[in-house]
Chain A
Amino acid sequence: MALRETNPNFMNGVPELLILSLLGEQEMYGYEIVQAIRQRTAAVIAVGEGVVYPVLHGLEGDGALKSRRKTINGRGRIYYSVTPRGARRLADLSQNWTNLTTAIQNILIGGQNAQAVS
């Protein structure tokens, strides 16, 4: 997912994590996914909304997602949901992310303490 406002270097793997996490709760189509990300992150993560689709197609190509077409109010939608392989990938990504944020948090807390002591 290319980012317009959020620093892309810090976002490697994050779009996948967010998408798998959201789709782990319920099946959604692209627009719903982007709106859910926007709402739940309070628009901290801002993306060019269209670039969610290459990520979705890539995850589907890897077998992490499956899609099906549904017609709602006369409009065809492609709904995505997580496969068992996607669930395993989500667990791995979540673990990695937790380790990373814990490590960064430790450094930040250490830095603050060091500043307070001096």
Chain B
Amino acid sequence: MPKQFHELRERLLNAGVAPRHVQRYLKELADHLADLRAEEVRAGRGRAEAESAALDRLGSIDDLSKAMIEQRQFQSWCARAPWAAFGLAPLLFLAAAYFIACFILWSGWKIFLPRADTPFGTPIPIYSFQNIYFQIGRFIYFTSPVLIGWLIGLVAARQRLSMAWPTLSLVLIAWMGGTAQIQASRTAVAGGFGHISMNFFRLGSSGQNVSEDIFHALIILTVALLPHMIWRLRHHYARST
């Protein structure tokens, strides 16, 4: 890819053009440039002269970027509605992940521990497959805030977004993940049917619980943010050199 295309790509991504549109545009431009270069060589120009003439015919970076940026339909959702992409969507994803984790816990409790009052810390021994089943739910519960955080970082990196929206999104995810609490009880429900519920965004009642929630939220925030920060530093360094 010619050096000019790198600049064009950065301009388009910074202007909010969706990465898939940018990728396709650059691919077609590269093909077009190859055709123009071949045409100029056939016309008798030297290699360097042909390259220069081909780039000139293709259009300036200003024209090429302006033509794409002016068409709003090529804008990504992150640029069109960042509040939805970085506010609403991650919280909905996390809620969906917690729902799946709760469903696994509830179904495992019903299938494998039908006599236990709670699926947590039961004295009834559980064996390999049952254990794996519960561990899958546990894995989803504990890793989903971080995985969603990494996904936010990846989207922000691909689209060259400023830190503001991704940071807000990660803080929301960390807060929701850090304060998430799951309760399971059979005896509290008439008829003995197992009941599972979750709380979010509410700090613990005692001082120790509050500090644990904040600590948990900070751990999620740090782990989720770290890869994106490393990418930003590397990208900044690569651009400056």
Contacts and interface: CB of A to CB of B under 8 A. Distances in A.
Contacts of B25: 53-54, 57
Label chain A's interface by main secondary structure. Answer: helix
A4 B68 contact: no
Contacts of B63: 2, 4, 48, 50-51
A6 to B, nearest CB: 13
A57 B28 CA distance: 11
B57 A49 contact: yes
Contacts of B70: 54
B180 to A, nearest CB: 40
Interface of B: 21, 24-25, 28-29, 31-32, 34-36, 57-60, 63-64, 66-68, 70-71, 73-74
Contacts of A47: 59
B32 A49 contact: yes
Place the interface of chain A in its size category.
20 to 34
Contacts of B32: 30-31, 34, 49-50, 53
B58 A49 contact: yes
Given A49-B57, A54-B74, A57-B21, A77 B67 contact: no
A30 B73 CA distance: 20
Given A30-B32, A51-B67, 12 more contacts: A2-B66, A2-B67, A30-B28, A34-B32, A48-B58, A50-B58, A51-B59, A51-B64, A53-B29, A53-B32, A57-B74, A77-B31
B59 A54 contact: no
Interface of A: 1-2, 4, 29-31, 34, 47-51, 53-55, 57-58, 61, 75-78
Nearest to A51: B67
B60 to A, nearest CB: 7
Contact of A58 (B24, B28, B36, B73): B73
Given A49-B32, A78-B28, A54 B68 contact: yes
Contacts of A61: 73-74
A17 B25 CA distance: 21
B64 A50 contact: yes
A48 to B, nearest CB: 3
A75 B32 CA distance: 11
Contact of A75 (B31, B36, B59, B73): B31
